[in-house]
Amino acid sequence: MLRFFIFAGVFAVSLNILQAQDSAEVDSLITASDTLDLGNDVEEGFFTENLDSVKITEQFKEPKVTLTSGYPTKLPDSVYIQRLQSLESPLEFPFNSKVKAYIQLYTEKKRQQVEIMLGLSDYYFPIFEEALDAAELPMELKYLPIIESALNPRAFSRAGASGLWQFMYGTGKMYGLKVDSYIDDRRDPVKSSQAAVNFLKDLYKQYGDWYLVIAAYNCGPGNVNKAIYRSGGKRDFWQIYYRLPRETRGYVPAFIAAAYAMNYHEEHVIYPREADIVQATDTIMISELLHFKQVSAVTGIPVQTLRDLNPQYRRDVVPAQKKAYALTIPVDATEKFITLEDSIFAYQREKYFASDRLVVSPSNHYNAPAAPKNKAKVYYTVKSGDAVGLIADWYDVYSSDLRYWNNIRRNLIKVGQKLVVYVPKNKVDHYKKINGMSYAQKQAISGRTVNASKPVPADKKLSQTVSSEYEYYTVRSGDNLWSIAQKYPGVSNNDIMRLNSLTNGSKISPGQRLKIKPKS
């Protein structure tokens, strides 16, 4: 259950901390901040799941500088404060126990994940910066996708948000992102970045405060407006902290900590793992149906490279029929592509596009992936309480890869379903054993423990949590999401869609039970 308290002094304390010069004064101010019960724990949510899903694979090289001795821990708060103060930005970076908890998460507990994100940032940050610069928005907003997706363009949340910037279906469509069976522009780094910039600009016009904007980006304007209303009109993140959804409370501190980690990683002996993503690219406009395998067979560009550079194409197909679409390729392959263009489109045309139509026979289904290089296939049978993220963690693979290999949509799996997993050939025997393990044993191999004193089935736990934390509404004949939202001040139809993982607001039916909002 959400707890609602008004602490008008939180932000003032943070500002005083930033201004404190004497170390004793700093210590006293930090102590005062802790009495406001911000806590020093990390809020669980999709952000931490994204971070946990980041795995070291063959795609990432060893850091150029490796750890030869210990890394700094238990730094004085004054060090964090001074460093945050030194960041040149129109955003202020306050410090408190919650920010500290997230800084320690990045710099101590999740060091390898930060190494990977630093490597990915070399490719993605210039794209974000170009869009932000053109709109004259703070460059530091480029750290939002670290929290939203851990810089994974195929990240897909439990609520249905997708891409680097985690757009919901409705919001994405509102900002011009196309989503259909073949294309998901929410995964397109360039288009989604432009949409995110436009969304952030609109939010800033509404709030005039970047931390309220960041909070609204996470939980929606409806929840922020409700928190402002219930706090008596206060328009400061820290003063409405306990009025916000639990995950959003950690979102702004996580953003501040991400800015810290990206700027001071070397001080914590963290260095990038370079990602095997082509840095120099070119764009070719495609005006006919084209399959990635046609391009790969003729030009030699690996299919995986085409997927990495074009994550918006959901089925390895550029569906160019009525309009042209962009295909990103390595710049050193541009001349070859242009020279061999006719051969590329003609290669096994009937196999991929019979009668030049965007329909492929099941025998040649393009969405069934071949075994990754140097990998072997093992199987896992879904059991009660399993989730895509858990299974991926047990097998040390990306959740996005597990979904891709098994055509999983919206993380929906069912008991008894057999999943294919590709694992290193030299570890097949190890991973084959997982299918026969108990839940506790599988959690143990991931470094987690299960409380056996009160065994409660996962589905029962979920239902207990849901029933105790949310208000519900039973749909009646003639209802729609807009009319339902009007019954609850501060709730929008987008909020209801997000809570219930709805992609089409018109598809609700009488008798359906919908989550409306967290209980107060």
Residue 488 CB burial class (10 angstroms; 0-12, 13-18, ≥19): middle
- The DSSP bridge partners found for residue 470 are 518
* Counts of helices then strands in the chain (DSSP H, E): 24, 8
Rg of the Cα atoms in the chain: 24
Per the residue annotation, which of 43, 49, 148, 274 is the catalytic one? 148
148 is catalytic: yes
Burial 95-132 (b: 16+ CB within 10 A, else e): bbbbbbbbbbbbbeebbebbbbbbbbbebbbebbeebb
Backbone angles phi and psi of 191, in degrees to 5:
-65, -40
Cβ pair 89, 143 in contact under 8 A: no
Half-sphere exposure of 453 (CA within 13 A, CB side): 1
Residue 151 CB burial class (10 angstroms; 0-12, 13-18, ≥19): buried
Enter the tokens of residue 491: 């709730």
Q: How far is CA 375 from CA 57, 58, 420, 426, 433, in A?
A: 12, 11, 12, 9, 17
Distance, CA of 457 to CA of 316 (rounded, Å): 39
Count, residues in the chain: 520
Q: Which residues are catalytic?
A: 148
